[in-house]
Structure 1
Amino acid sequence: MTTAVQIGEFSRLCHLSAKTLRYYHDIGLLVPADVDPDTGHRRYEPSQVGDAHLIRRLRGLDMPLAEIRTVLAAPGSRADALTRHLDRMEAELARTRDVVASLRRLLDATPPITVLYRSHAPVPALHIAGRVAREGVAAWCGSSFGELFGTLAALGADPAGPAGCTYSTEFFEQDEGEVVAFVPVLPGALDGELDGDARAMVLPGRRYAVAVHAGPFSDCDLTYGALGAHVAEHDKALPEPIVEQYLVGPQHTDDPDRYRTEVCWPVA
């Protein structure tokens, strides 16, 4: 006694339409157990219901058909493939939540920023410089600051001020350019410790228009826009790197809403 069922009955078992099942057969994703050579009628084994259910759910998660085919072809690796896809989905959901929250903040009435003027004297610092793409800057900064703070700890030295980064004009114009991560140190604190070390530098003295950005880095463009507009109206901007100083950042809190970032715009 055969247990194979026709396509209409199978569609009821797995909640996939006959049209979808025929398409999955055509592309080799879910092949019927038997196809009548005269009528072309497809018949499926009940044991195929599990694969059909899996395909239906994976398509509901927007997994590409090629990747689903790989999952079905290697049952032993299904868990790994599904885990990778779910990780990607969670990352995308997190990104979507961040964008939605940013749009809501954009819709809110934004209070005018307070712009202060400050002259920075030359400051000794540890630094790491690199050519960084915009989409990779967060990961690069996290790695760089971890290395810098680790070096200071190994030397028994403390930061002399908030850590920061400088961003070249090219970084904004080309979505890629030089970024310098730095941690200030006290004058003479590392004398003899880093002689000839490329990580030692002196941040040049500059005059800046300064505004504090409150909240996640993803919204920092709002403060950049307001501060840059103020500078364009009242000052002469210099084609020098913009400096961000992280008064409260990931090293202080896990809550991005509590971040406080000084944006320092170089002016004549």
Structure 2
Amino acid sequence: MPASLTIGDFSRATHLSVKTLRHYHRIRLLQPADIDPDTGYRRYTVDQIPAAQVIRRFRDLDMPLNQIHAVLQAPDLRARNRLISAHLASLEQGLARTQDAVASLRDLLADPSAVAPVSQRRVDATAAAAITGVVSTGDLLAWYLGALGELYATLDARGVSASGPAGGIYASELFSAERGEATIFVPTATQVQRLGRVAPVVVPAAELAVITHAGSHADVDRAYGALGTYVASHALRVDGPIREYYLVGRRDTPEENAWRTEIGWPIFSTGAAA
């Protein structure tokens, strides 16, 4: 039988605190090899040290305890590696988001006024195929991508061509209450028949203050800030949903730097220049 250690000695050997070891025991992640029935003292074997070291390193990589348990209980090496690879991919995505946020912050600190100019224009009423739903801001990106893909797939299946760039209409509640109505639409020269979530709509005419945001939506708040400042300064604001027009997007190019999104804020136009 392998040599055993008290919980204190095992803590020193593995750099896991006694409190942590007791917690891991309670959740059955790392159970003692023996528990004295009279005193309740826990003892661990030296064979458990590698498992404790693995757990500690997974925790250093922010792997949730339930995922660590799944890794340790994996039926074979392939299943174990699949779980580890999934967590590493999640870490890489988080790192990419952090790098994007750092780059955006550096740009903001370097030149806080470096945004596109604002102009005013009127858009006419437009026939379109659309999908509408009530969405939370946390789900908005996934919902938008799914709706846009479904719209284009439906139009392709029916042999209907888009007559302009896709767009979105977003209720004020999406910004103020983190949940509200959103509509994704694709303009069409001919009216489409309803099919599933896809329905024919007429996007109403509107007078808008507009700004074109270049790149991904990671720092689109800068464009929104400039647009809000312009509208407030000119006392033009009217109630109504925000519009976005996706002039160049991921359907056109995978290069995020080439993406162009036009943002429209409803206004009462006075004809003043931007």
Q: CA deviation at 1:64?
A: 3.7
The residue identity in structure 2 corresponding to 1:216 is S
Change in CA separation of 1:223 and 1:4 when aligned onto 2, cut-off 3 Å: same
The residue identity in structure 1 corresponding to 2:263 is V
For the pair 1:44 / 2:45, whether they are aligned, the reply is yes
Match of 2:225 in 1: 225
2:101 and 2:241 map into 1 onto residues whose CA distance is 27
Match of 2:209 in 1: 209
Equivalent position to 2:175, from 161, 172, 177: 172
CA contact (8 A) 1:35 1:41 kept: yes
Match of 1:145 in 2: 148
How large is the Cα RMSD of the aligned pairs?
Answer: 3.1
1:112 and 1:144 map into 2 onto residues whose CA distance is 29
The residue identity in structure 2 corresponding to 1:102 is S
Change in CA separation of 1:31 and 1:156 when aligned onto 2, cut-off 3 Å: closer
Equivalent position to 2:109, from 97, 107, 110: 107
Match of 1:20 in 2: 17
2:141 and 2:240 map into 1 onto residues whose CA distance is 21
Match of 2:3 in 1: 4
Match of 2:98 in 1: 96
Task: Determine helix, strand or coil for the equivalent of 2:144.
Answer: helix
C-alpha offsets along residues 65-116 of structure 1, whole Å, 9 cap, x if unaligned?
Answer: 4543454355556445434433433332233223222212222213253122
Change in CA separation of 1:112 and 1:32 when aligned onto 2, cut-off 3 Å: closer
2:123 and 2:151 map into 1 onto residues whose CA distance is 22
2:37 and 2:171 map into 1 onto residues whose CA distance is 69
When normalised by structure 2's length, the TM-score is: 0.80
For the pair 1:184 / 2:187, whether they are aligned, the reply is yes
2:57 and 2:75 map into 1 onto residues whose CA distance is 16
1:22 and 1:44 map into 2 onto residues whose CA distance is 18
1:54 and 1:200 map into 2 onto residues whose CA distance is 56
Equivalent position to 2:135, from 123, 132, 156: 132
The residue identity in structure 2 corresponding to 1:113 is A
Match of 1:121 in 2: 124
Change in CA separation of 1:26 and 1:128 when aligned onto 2, cut-off 3 Å: closer
Question: Any gaps of 5 or more consecutive residues in structure 1?
Answer: none
1:96 and 1:104 map into 2 onto residues whose CA distance is 12
When normalised by structure 1's length, the TM-score is: 0.82
1:26 and 1:154 map into 2 onto residues whose CA distance is 56
The residue identity in structure 2 corresponding to 1:134 is T
Change in CA separation of 1:262 and 1:59 when aligned onto 2, cut-off 3 Å: same
The residue identity in structure 1 corresponding to 2:84 is L
1:169 and 1:265 map into 2 onto residues whose CA distance is 11
1:155 and 1:164 map into 2 onto residues whose CA distance is 20
CA contact (8 A) 2:126 2:204 kept: yes
CA contact (8 A) 1:162 1:184 kept: yes
Task: Determine helix, strand or coil for the equivalent of 2:211.
Answer: strand
Match of 2:248 in 1: 248
Change in CA separation of 1:228 and 1:11 when aligned onto 2, cut-off 3 Å: closer
2:10 and 2:194 map into 1 onto residues whose CA distance is 76
Task: Determine helix, strand or coil for the equivalent of 1:225.
Answer: helix
For the pair 1:162 / 2:159, whether they are aligned, the reply is no
1:195 and 1:42 map into 2 onto residues whose CA distance is 68
Q: Which moved more, 1:207-216 or 1:94-103?
A: 94-103
CA contact (8 A) 1:33 1:45 kept: no
C-alpha offsets along residues 193-223 of structure 1, whole Å, 9 cap, x if unaligned?
Answer: 5279961111111111111111211211111
Q: Which moved more, 1:138-147 or 1:85-94?
A: 85-94
CA contact (8 A) 1:129 1:181 kept: yes
